[in-house]
């Protein structure tokens, strides 16, 4: 439900968007992010091991694992079965909204226009992913939706960086941002968990 999702997302300003290639990286990566102050973890279903990564990260103390890049109802079901506590989708198709409602699991559906946000809102979804945030118009665009869509909040994702995260987070309709920068592919490949934890710590300190 919305309240549970908001409570999770409000625990830190940044939700790491993770593309994990190797299952053995799951626990140390997730632990570094949680220890750095980012408890909500979005594991994208973009690699063959992604569902196993969700399963592994579900046991990390203090963490809340979710699954991202959910494209269809089957993936939503698989992710929840693997232990995902929330789902993230790049879009907001009727099928994906139906699946989330049936499963009773919080979903951040991706939207980039007022009409898309309204369609999701009509189905009861009021916490949305603004995607792809940068190319779709950035903070000025999202700010323009705040007044007419007064009861909808967003997690902008796509092109968010340490340089511009604050510009989103200071908006009244932004609850958190999503970004991959806290888990750089080279740091993960090298097992440089200290660097990941340091990046998480810096991200956790960003204020709007």
Binding of residue 164 to ligand 3PG (CB under 6 A): no
Task: Give the active site residue among 24, 42, 85, 126.
Answer: 42
Least CB distance to ligand 3PG at residue 154 (A): 13
Asked whether the beta carbons of 49 and 37 are under 8 A apart, the reply is no
Considering the complex, state which of residue 35 and residue 157 has its C-beta at the smaller distance from ligand 3PG: 157
Reported as type and span, the H/E element at residue 135 is helix 133-136
Angle, vertex CA 28, rays to CA 155 and CA 194, nearest 5:
85
Q: Which is nearer to ligand 3PG, 34 or 155 (CB)?
A: 155
With CB under 6 A as the contact rule, which of the stretches 25-33, 71-79, 151-159, 191-199 interacts with ligand 3PG?
Answer: 151-159
Q: What residue is closest to ligand 3PG based on CB?
A: 180
159 interacts with ligand 3PG by CB under 6 A: yes
Residue 16 vs 37, nearer CB to ligand 3PG: 16
Per-residue contact flags (x/-) with ligand 3PG for residues 126 to 145, judged by CB under 6 A: -----x--------------
Residues 6+ apart with CB under 8 A from 102: none
Distance CA 188, CA 200 (A): 13
C-alpha 174/C-alpha 194 separation (Å) is 29
**Dist. CA 25–CA 18, nearest whole Å:** 11
CB contact at 8 A, 85 and 64:
yes
Q: Which of residues 179-198 bind ligand 3PG (CB under 6 A)?
A: 179-180
Please give the residue ranges that form the binding site for ligand 3PG (CB under 6 A). 17, 131, 157-160, 178-180
């Amino acid at each position: 439900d919305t309240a549970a999702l908001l409570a999770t997302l409000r625990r830190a300003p940044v939700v790491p968007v993770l593309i994990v290639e190797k299952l053995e990286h799951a626990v140390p990566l997730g632990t570094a992010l949680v220890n750095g102050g980012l408890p909500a973890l979005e594991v994208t279903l973009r690699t063959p091991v992604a569902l196993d990564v969700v399963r592994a990260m579900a046991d990390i103390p203090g963490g809340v694992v979710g699954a991202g890049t959910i494209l269809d109802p089957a993936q939503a079901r698989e992710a929840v079965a693997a232990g995902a506590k929330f789902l993230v989708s790049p879009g907001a198709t009727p099928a994906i909204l139906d699946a989330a409602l049936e499963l009773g699991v919080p979903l951040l559906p991706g939207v980039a226009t007022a009409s898309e946000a309204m369609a999701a809102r009509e189905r009861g979804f009021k916490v949305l992913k603004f995607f792809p945030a940068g190319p779709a118009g950035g903070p000025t665009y999202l700010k323009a939706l705040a007044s007419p869509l007064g009861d909808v909040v967003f997690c902008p994702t796509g092109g968010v960086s340490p340089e511009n995260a604050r510009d989103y987070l200071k908006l009244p309709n932004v609850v958190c941002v999503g970004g991959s920068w806290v888990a750089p592919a080279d740091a993960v490949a090298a097992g440089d968990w200290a660097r990941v934890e340091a990046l998480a710590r810096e991200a956790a300190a960003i204020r709007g």
